[in-house]
Amino acid sequence: MMSTSTPTDLQTTHELKLEAPRLPTGVVYRARLISVLAAVDTTRLILVAAPAGFGKTTLLSQWRDHLRQIGELVAWLTLDESDADVRRFMIGVIKSLTKAGVDLGPLPAQAQRGLTEVTVDSVIRDIQSRLHLIDKPVTLILDDYHRTSSPTLDALLGQWIPLLPQGTRFLMSTRRRPDIGLRQLLGKGQAIEIIGDTLRFNTAESREVLDVGLGEAERDILAKRTEGWPVALQLARIITLQDQIGPTALTNLISRGGGLWNFLSDQVLRGLNKEVVEFLLETSILERFTTEITDQIRGRNDSWKIIEQLEPLQSLLTPLDAETMWYRYHHLFSEYLQGQLRQRNESTLPALHLRASRAFENSGLLAEAVRHASLAGDFRRCAELVEKAGGWRFVLFGGMGQLNQLLDFIPKSERLSHPRLLLAQAYVELKKGLLHEARSTFDLVASDVAEPIGHWGTLDDCERDVLNINVLMKTYEDNRIDGHFLSFFDLMRQRMPGADALTRGVLDCAASVASLCLGELNRAEDFARQAMRAMREANSVLGLNYCFLHAGLSRIYKGDLGNAAAYVQRAKAMAIENFGEDSGLKALATMLLALAELWSDVKLTISTEDLDNAFRHVCEYDGWFEIYAAGLDTRFRLAWLANNVTAMDIIIADGDRLTRSRSLKRLAWVVDTQRLLRLRVTNDPAGDTLAEKIGKQFPIGCWRNNPACWRPYQDAAFALATWYLPCDLRRARHWGDDMLICAQAVGTRSYEVRAHLLLATIQAATNEQDKAMVHLRAAVKCGAHQRIALPFIEHPALSPLVRLLRRELWDAGGEPIEASFLSNVEEKLTTVSPARGGSMSGLTTREQEIIFELSRGLTNKEIARALDMTEHTVKFHLKNIFAKLGVDRRAHALSALKQTSQTPNLI
């Protein structure tokens, strides 16, 4: 059974990588090199580049101790091949900085979940901002960078290093120069490089290493013959301590040349008994190990005794933690031992890796268990381990990063014979937005599932996975959702009462998305609330977050903006608490919260830049039609209301890229309607062709036979009516009428208000003011209690009628909340760009009201009575109005307004 908690089996491995290896006793202190490093403490990069065996790790360890002694913060990260993945590398950076004492806020929690909810850029920005707050120097040591170097990671560091805050630097060891723009960094004085020749032991240091009973002359000969190569000197020391050969014989043998490393290694092994040598060979396949793990691999319980016998090897066998529980071999020694193992009995390697796999599995280290099974060529076992741990379900417990790593150990060609692995791969691809790849992968496993096979108890694990991934695939692809698909969920409920909680949660979430697509708004919320209960039972916080988002969007569509905001705020708070300020889930919630704010306040609590960043984050992290449409709609409406053509073009281009990459037909329709509105702003004749195209895609009443098009149809009808409003009122009215009927049929109050106001504008344009007032009253009745203000702001030409209705409501004893709402609408209208006409630039709401009454020929006393103010106040406002217009009397004011086409014409 799958664990219902976030996967954490990599924790032990990561912790070991954060520890500097313990230095063996008798190691030579490199005071000469430490002083060199200390002299360049202001540079952003210190690169230690040299071949194997030059003591790079030893130097870095000593430098770490030195910095800590003088009160600086030092982070350590030993790298390996798995860190070539940028996110895994950043996880290590976060963990190492945190261990060093750097406060990184929510980033450590995000790292535990694989950084799957955040972008790498946002992680780096967060680290940068927090490093700026540190009042002491910070050094991050990256040991063995050559093992993880990749073009992507090199490029990342090349961009990051020059931007490091003052007092922060990287200290990096590597066998070869990485492609991180080193020449530019060196040229700008932002880096220094220490190479192999600098790392060689000088005569004094060599003598110190060999001070183990050798005469001074013999030490000098050995130092000369080894040319200061640190590992050769250390091995010579070990051999002499073992007293296997005399110092003179040792110097003679060294002079053979060429085979120094093999010779010295042979001498090391020759001095050990057979049992110890076998231990070394069998455990050489391990990156790191404990005595418990080696006991399991060897089928014995005496590893601790052998470790004690290896104590004289010192620098060849390094403890990795303070408790001396974990060890690793020097890389050169490990490579040599593995070579010896292959020469002696290569056929035993698969069996050794399999035993290692079982040992790591028993220790709860899944990634190591899968890696060794992969090295053994036993991909069936790899699949079984991944499937036993939950497979695709890892993702819903925040473990997409670990699932990615596990899948990486298994070649794609091998996954073909393991359906559940392919299903896990398909789900990961879905979450990455790779819909085509996900569909191709899924189709390798199963065709479309029309209905469950029998009852829940009759399905095996693979069939259950197919069922889950199939419905998720359809909701993401957004092209096969219909009434039959929705009834499918009811059928599953009947046939599968015993389904596990996570499956129930997933299916109910998919049903909620399908209900939104088909305009079944009440059912959408019901499914979302059912999913909440299931996700809580399954203990999937990630899944629960999605449930609140689905419920919130159903309320936005229904026009219940207060409850919508409550749902989405809850989702956002959960995302921040559990996944961090820069999480993808927070970005999803931000999109929906911005949409709710747009409909109610027409003003967002976040900046346009932050909204744009959240949208891009969503596109990279995870999204589906409703989220993408919400982000595009919010951003576009703000730009459209501000008459910002440049911003509109950028947003439309974003939409085009998204639809090309995701092939979401409904989203492409939405983008086309935005393009038509943008052409209306500039009166571009190309809009005629586009309007004809959209009209053919969305004929009047098409939503009746195709409920899945109701949402883009609302946008299409609005855009078409807006396009035809200046030139063909009959066609505009047809679209407006059907838009209203559709909105009422679906029960979407938000769009109903928009349709009423569109029709009011059309009626006013034909001087049918009584009919216009009917629609305006209906819009107010429908939208006032939930303060649905956006559609009113979209129709500034209705301002005079809005003003009349507000006064009528107060005078005739109408609903106070409706009159108050209209006052709020009038206030908002003064802050919107006047480019589409109707508002009076520079005049406050109260001043516009006075101008309106003035245009009707009322006296100051009559204006005061109509607006519930004193004559003195009226005179005060008129004085301000005249000053703003540059006139000195009433007639001149009205004339000035007429000349600028700002006089209200609906009276």
Q: How many Å separate Cα 768 from the centre of its chain?
A: 52
pLDDT of residue 738: 97
pLDDT of residue 253: 45
pLDDT of residue 149: 80
How many angstroms separate the CA atoms of 279 and 272, rounded? 11
**Closest C-alpha to 690, from 698, 644, 478:** 698
What residues contact 773, with CB distance under 8 A and at least 6 apart? 760, 801, 804, 805
Residues 393-443 pLDDT 10s: 877 775 777 888 889 899 999 999 899 999 999 998 988 888 899 999 999
Q: What is the mean pLDDT of residues 182-195?
A: 84
Hey, what are 109's tokens?
A: 């929690």
How many angstroms separate the CA atoms of 901 and 841, rounded? 11
Hey, what are 251's tokens?
A: 């110097």
Tell me which DSSP letter residue 78 carries: E
Question: Pairing mode, if any, of strands 45-49 and 191-195?
Answer: parallel
- Alpha helices of 747-859 — where are they, by DSSP H? 749-765, 769-783, 790-793, 799-811, 816-829, 845-855
**Closest C-alpha to 613, from 590, 633, 592, 597:** 590
How many angstroms separate the CA atoms of 294 and 272, rounded? 18
How many angstroms separate the CA atoms of 458 and 106, rounded? 44
Report the interhelical angle of 366-375 vs 379-388 (nearest 10°). 160
Tell me which DSSP letter residue 19 carries: S
Of 15-24, 156-165, 263-272, the range with the lowest mean pLDDT is: 263-272
How many angstroms separate the CA atoms of 250 and 244, rounded? 9
Confidence of residue 903 (pLDDT cuts 50, 70, 90): very low
How many angstroms separate the CA atoms of 239 and 216, rounded? 17
Query: Does residue 604 have a pLDDT over 70?
Result: yes
How many angstroms separate the CA atoms of 127 and 156, rounded? 14
Question: Pairing mode, if any, of strands 138-143 and 327-329?
Answer: unpaired
Query: Does residue 898 have a pLDDT over 90?
Result: no
Hey, what are 15's tokens?
A: 């912790």
More confident residue, 282 or 27: 282
How many angstroms separate the CA atoms of 535 and 533, rounded? 6
Tokens 């006013």: give the residue. 764
pLDDT of residue 718: 97
pLDDT of residue 829: 77
| DSSP secondary structure, 109-139, as one string | HHHHTTTTTS-HHHHHHHHHHHHTT-SS-EE
**Closest C-alpha to 829, from 757, 778, 894, 881:** 757
Query: Does residue 536 have a pLDDT over 80?
Result: yes
Number of CB atoms found within 10 A of residue 291's CB: 18
Number of CB atoms found within 10 A of residue 368's CB: 25
Element (H, E) at 47: strand 45-49
What residues contact 37, with CB distance under 8 A and at least 6 apart? 46, 63, 171, 194
pLDDT of residue 900: 52
| Count of alpha carbons within 13 angstroms of residue 450, beta-carbon side | 0
Which pTM value belongs to this model?
A: 0.76
Radius of gyration of the chain (CA): 36
How many angstroms separate the CA atoms of 40 and 29, rounded? 19
CA quadruple 466, 472, 475, 479: dihedral, nearest 10 = -30
Element (H, E) at 173: strand 168-174
Q: Which amino acid is at 310?
A: L
Tokens 């991944």: give the residue. 386
How many angstroms separate the CA atoms of 797 and 804, rounded? 13
Query: Does residue 41 have a pLDDT over 80?
Result: no
Query: Does residue 818 have a pLDDT over 80?
Result: yes
pLDDT of residue 374: 94
pLDDT of residue 835: 41
What residues contact 225, with CB distance under 8 A and at least 6 apart? 251, 254, 255
Question: Pairing mode, if any, of strands 327-329 and 317-319?
Answer: antiparallel
How many angstroms separate the CA atoms of 141 and 19, rounded? 11
- Alpha helices of 379-520 — where are they, by DSSP H? 379-388, 400-408, 412-415, 419-431, 435-443, 461-477, 483-495, 501-517
Number of CB atoms found within 10 A of residue 159's CB: 13
Contact 180, 151 (CB under 8 A): no
Query: Does residue 227 have a pLDDT over 50?
Result: yes
% pLDDT > 70, the chain: 85
CA quadruple 308, 310, 311, 316: dihedral, nearest 10 = -140
**Closest C-alpha to 662, from 509, 475, 520:** 475
Tokens 């032991």: give the residue. 201
Report the interhelical angle of 816-829 vs 799-811 (nearest 10°). 150
Q: How many helices (H) and strands (E) does the chain have?
A: 49, 7
Q: What is the mean pLDDT of residues 188-195?
A: 83
Beta bridge partners of 319: 327
Contact 581, 573 (CB under 8 A): no
Contact 459, 452 (CB under 8 A): yes
Element (H, E) at 796: none
Confidence of residue 851 (pLDDT cuts 50, 70, 90): confident
Tell me which DSSP letter residue 20 carries: P
Number of CB atoms found within 10 A of residue 549's CB: 28
The widest CA-to-CA distance across the chain, in whole angstroms, is 121
Contact 380, 414 (CB under 8 A): no
Report the interhelical angle of 400-408 vs 379-388 (nearest 10°). 170
